[in-house]
Amino acid sequence: PVRPVMPVDIMHRKGGTPIVCLTAYTTPMARLVDAHCDVALVGDSVGMVLHGMPSTLGVTMDMMILHGRAVVKGCQKAMPVIDMPWGSYEESPQQAFRNASRLMAETGAPAVKLEGGKHMAETIAFLTRRGVPVMAHIGLTPQSVNVLGGYKVVGREAEAGKVMVDAEAVEASGAFAVVLEKVPEGLSARVTQRLRIPTIGIGAGLRCDGQILVVDDMLGMFTEFRPKFVKRYADLGRTADEAIANYAAEVRARAFPQPEHAFPDVLPPKGPKS
Ligand code: KIV
Ligand code: NA
């Protein structure tokens, strides 16, 4: 195989040791993720996390290719997956193939992810039959925020049947895995039990075949954004804030740089070579 972990390997991990996934958008973060995870997702969340966008809708193909290349460079063993941005695949299976093949060819990633269930089944089948492994994404699909009216839980009560239908449709169309976002835990357990492909949960409870989080969220890079499903494994935002405050204070006090951070005009004489 081209890479140590391919989409089919992820697919075959159904029911086994949970599949560990995180997002990554840059080479250094991809290297950190690669050391411990099975999948590094170049999520279109990059628009909100790194580019200050109010939603994922403004993310472009060019952004996904740029960040995708950076992440592929940092992945030795984890499998990179690239999100298809809004507007790059919904129009037709042909449009989806044109853009998915660009994402794969121009980044080197072996798979793409796209949002949608039953209504994207034809597109997923079109892509997989033409050499594009697809990770599906159902439940809360952030690219539909303007239709859904917010980032609410999807699949409670009467909505549960639709999530199951979507899950079965993406499996039947050939997706190698499916992300369940903000789906109630009982429903995500039933979906996981029903499908033969792995489910990757985010805000979907413990009984999925794998988990994913936005890496900047779990590292605590933000102070304001704290959704219920994100556990903070670090508080890097606070650490960075303290470091930048110290730097600013030392520069203003002329306490930085010290001689050890500067270059002398005359080099000290070297000792005799041994
Ligand atoms: O864009 C993203 O980061 C995602 C994951 C959270 C699943 O789609
Ligand atoms: Na996404």
CATH value at residue 43: 3.20.20.60
- Alpha-carbon distance 152 to 135, whole Å? 22
Contact by Cβ (8 Å): 174, 160: no
Q: Is 45 near ligand 1, meaning CB less than 6 Å away? A: yes
Query: Span 67-82, mean pLDDT?
Result: 98
What ipTM does the predicted assembly reach? 0.99
Query: Span 50-62, mean pLDDT?
Result: 97
Residue 181 known to be catalytic: yes
- Count, in order, helices (H) and strands (E) of the chain: 11, 8
- Alpha-carbon distance 116 to 56, whole Å? 15
Residue 265 lies in a domain: no
Q: Is 177 near ligand 1, meaning CB less than 6 Å away? A: no
Residue 52 lies in a domain: yes
Query: Span 207-230, mean pLDDT?
Result: 93
- Residue 3 Cα, ligand 2 centroid: separation in angstroms? 23
Q: Which pLDDT score, from 0 to 100, does residue 274 have? A: 62
Q: Which of 106, 171, 181, 224 is catalytic?
A: 181
- Alpha-carbon distance 81 to 112, whole Å? 5
88 is in an annotated binding site: no
Q: Label residue 3 by pLDDT band (50, 70, 90).
A: confident
The string of pLDDT tens digits covering residues 41-50 is 999 999 999 9
For 259, the token pair is 């001689």
Domain that holds residue 134: 7-235
Residue 269 lies in a domain: no
Residue 21 lies in a domain: yes
Residue 90 lies in a domain: yes
Q: Residue 201, SS3? A: strand
45 is in an annotated binding site: yes
Residue 271 lies in a domain: no
| Packed helices 160-172 and 121-128: angle between N→C axes, nearest 10 degrees | 20
- Alpha-carbon distance 49 to 185, whole Å? 26
pLDDT at 2 over 80: no
Residue 244 lies in a domain: no
Number of compact structural domains in the chain: 1
| Packed helices 61-74 and 27-34: angle between N→C axes, nearest 10 degrees | 50
pLDDT at 191 over 70: yes
Residue 119 lies in a domain: yes
| Residue located nearest, by CA, to atom 2 of ligand 1 | 43
265 is in an annotated binding site: no
